[in-house]
Amino acid sequence: MQSIRGYLRQISFLMVLAVGFATTLSTTAAAGVVGTGDVLTEQRADVDRQSLQAMLERQDVKEALSSMGVDEAEVEARIQSLTPSELADFNDQLAAAPVGEGVVGIIVLFLLVFIVTDLLCATNIFSFINCIR
């Protein structure tokens, strides 16, 4: 019994190590892709208020906005409260793919990792875990 427990303990540490390496690799890969947006940002012209308002008229954009769950009257009011330069940002973020839907399956796999990283003060996902310094 004692030997099995010791064996399991070693296995679990190995798993943590393996997942740790896997996350490191994926971080590197993701960092390479994300950088492209930063380059594009400098070249992109600001979307001005009029053109976005004009886009609002189009049915497909209306559908896109209402699919975000926001009332159309509120959307127009929210657009009016933004500066032209903020509108450029806003439109990008609005158009960005929703996060979270595809990753539900792997959350369980990362549960252990995030508990560990929370304990190490690297993340703060779980409010019930206080990190150890």
Torsion angle defined by CA atoms of residues 107, 113, 116 and 122, in that order, rounded to the nearest 10 degrees? -90
The whole-angstrom separation of Cα 48 and Cα 84 is 5
The whole-angstrom separation of Cα 28 and Cα 95 is 25
Residues 46-65 that bind another protein (CB under 8 A): none
Show the 3-state SS of 14-69. Answer: HHHHHHHHHHHHHHHHHHHHHHHHHHHHHHCCCCCHHHHHHHHHCHHHHHHHHHCC
Task: Closer to another protein by CB, 26 or 53: give it.
Answer: 26
Does 24 contact another protein by CB under 8 A? yes
Instruction: Select from 97, 61, 96 the least CA-distant residue to 79.
Output: 61
Does 115 contact another protein by CB under 8 A? no
Return the residue of 15, 103, 109, 112 that touches another protein, per CB under 8 A: 103
CB of 101 to another protein, least distance (A): 10
Does 76 contact another protein by CB under 8 A? no
Does 2 contact another protein by CB under 8 A? no
Residues in contact with another protein by CB under 8 A are 13, 16-17, 20-21, 23-24, 26-27, 30-31, 34, 67-71, 74, 77-78, 80-84, 86, 89-90, 93-94, 98-100, 103, 110, 114, 116-117, 120-125, 127, 131, 133
